[in-house]
Amino acid sequence: MKKLTITFAILVFVTRILAQGLSEEALPKGVILSPKALTEDFEQLNELLKTYHSGLFWYMDDPTWDNEVKSIKNQLTEPMGEMDFYRLVNPLIAKIACGHTAIRPSHSFYKDYNQNGTMFPVQVKFLEGRAYVQQDFSKTPGLEKGLEITAIDGKPIEDVLTLIMPQITADGNIKSAKFNELEYWFPLFYTRFVQNTDTHILTLTKNGKEANLAVEAVKPTVVKPTVSSQEPISFSFSKVKGNAKPIRTLDINTFSQWDIEAAKIDYDKFLKQVFSTLKKERAKELIIDLRGNNGGNDDFGAKLFAYLSQEPFEYYSSVEVNPETKYAIPLARRMSYKFKEVDGKILYSNHPALGKIQPENLAFEGDVYILIDGGTFSAAAGFAAISSDQGRAILIGEETGGAKLGNTSGVILDAVLPNTGLRLSLPTFRYSLALQNPSVKGEGVIPDHKITPSVEQWLANEDVQMEYVFSLINQVKLAQASR
């Protein structure tokens, strides 16, 4: 039996703990694997998840999981290739309902695919339940941004979504998270799970008229969605119409320590400087923009909330791991972790965001407005959840992509299955947030004001969510002036 290649990624560093096993060239193109080899990989996949994934049964019970596993094993009776096996097991990974858990094709597949494969050429924007052209990588004449796509290759958009959505991993039952992923990765998802051909037929609607347009597939390396080049974290003024004094905005695009330090920013010093400035300016309002913040360090949200809370608070109620996890962490790192067993659970007991946390002396006393969307995930969603739960902020935008109850993340285990080369990423630390009020299991953080752009506003690049915050601030000021 081949051995697994396993790597642990622990927040801000990566350490290889087992270097034997598969090379990146392990599975040549076109290899068909026997049922025995496929079953061996699937059993190891199941064993890894049950051994290390502390959130495996957050949204699914043990018997249901076992039935799902049995169903897939019963289908491993005929030889198949890597990608057919991948398409069979990927929906099971998605059913875990954990946005930090993923399975990916092998390195050798990607190497060959990037050289010889093709991909659907259109990035899609979803608004009000409809699909629109967002970016065309084929440069097809007449394929304009904003045209509505009603069907692709003869399949109505609703049917396309039915095929793709069960393949996307996300926390709980959060649709905003899946649409956030879909808008960025639509060319990949469509090619992988719907249809891979050299030419695709788009059914487009403009001014009430419907027409078909042929578009050519492109090389995967051509598909490069536009990515914002914003600073990871910034503090600036936002000019509000009708308001003489600009409003301070704290724009946090990530909680990743890597990205923040790469920008030569010390997070702790930055926060101190921000809130010192707010106090000197006697600011009455603060806008915190978390849209698109996929998370990062698990204590950065708690550090930020300490500058908002007016009294001691709890952030995480517990951080739980499976028994085997604490022994798998490299010894040098393990020495800084303290684990204890409570009621049969193994808890990470010395996490800095556990227990009572004191507010900072510079804690802001004014009104706080937080912008969120389906890209607000992991640590960012946790911060939004605590801010909302404790009534410390008004939330505007869309449901967060991260679950309100917490998530499974922290120490990430990466494993390569020995026969197919599929790569599994599974999180091992289950973070439960210290919520004071009940929350629906599987939901993200729900905004106090749900605001989404119309097609016209999207095409005009209007930031309707920020504009709505400005209107709320002006309403408060008018109400105060009339007293």
Q: Over its length of 483 residues, how does the chain's per-residue pLDDT go in tens digits?
A: 455 555 555 433 232 223 223 333 334 456 899 999 999 999 999 999 999 999 999 999 999 999 999 999 999 999 999 999 999 999 999 999 999 999 999 999 999 999 999 999 999 999 988 999 999 999 999 999 999 999 999 999 999 999 999 999 999 999 999 999 999 999 999 999 999 999 999 999 988 899 999 999 999 999 988 776 688 999 887 666 656 577 899 999 999 999 999 999 999 999 999 999 999 999 999 999 999 999 999 999 999 999 999 999 999 999 999 999 988 777 777 788 899 999 888 999 999 999 999 999 999 999 999 999 999 999 999 999 999 999 999 999 999 999 999 999 998 999 999 999 999 999 999 999 999 998 899 999 999 999 999 999 999 999 999 999 999 998 887 777 676
Which domains are seen in the chain, by residue range? 5-115 (3.30.750), 117-222 (2.30.42.10), 233-410+428-481 (3.90.226.10)
- Contact between residue 289 and residue 252 where contact means Cβ atoms under 8 Å apart: yes
Specify the DSSP element, H or E, that contains 326.
Answer: helix 325-328
In this prediction the pTM is: 0.92
Q: Please list the alpha-helical segments (H only) found in 13-132.
A: 35-52, 62-73, 82-95, 107-116
At 424, is the secondary structure helix, strand, or coil?
Answer: strand
Burial 57-80 (b: 16+ CB within 10 A, else e): ebbeeeeebeebbeebeeebeeeb
Q: Length of the chain in residues, anyone?
A: 483
Largest CA distance in the chain: 78
- Contact between residue 461 and residue 86 where contact means Cβ atoms under 8 Å apart: no
- Contact between residue 295 and residue 402 where contact means Cβ atoms under 8 Å apart: yes
Residue with tokens 């409570």: 342
- Contact between residue 444 and residue 384 where contact means Cβ atoms under 8 Å apart: no
| SS3 per-residue string spanning 176-200 | HHHHHHHHHHHHHHHHHHCCCCCEE
CA distance 385 to 289: 14
Residue 408, burial from CB neighbour count under 10 angstroms (0-12, 13-18, 19+): buried
Instruction: Give the dihedral sign, CA 374/376/377/382.
Output: negative
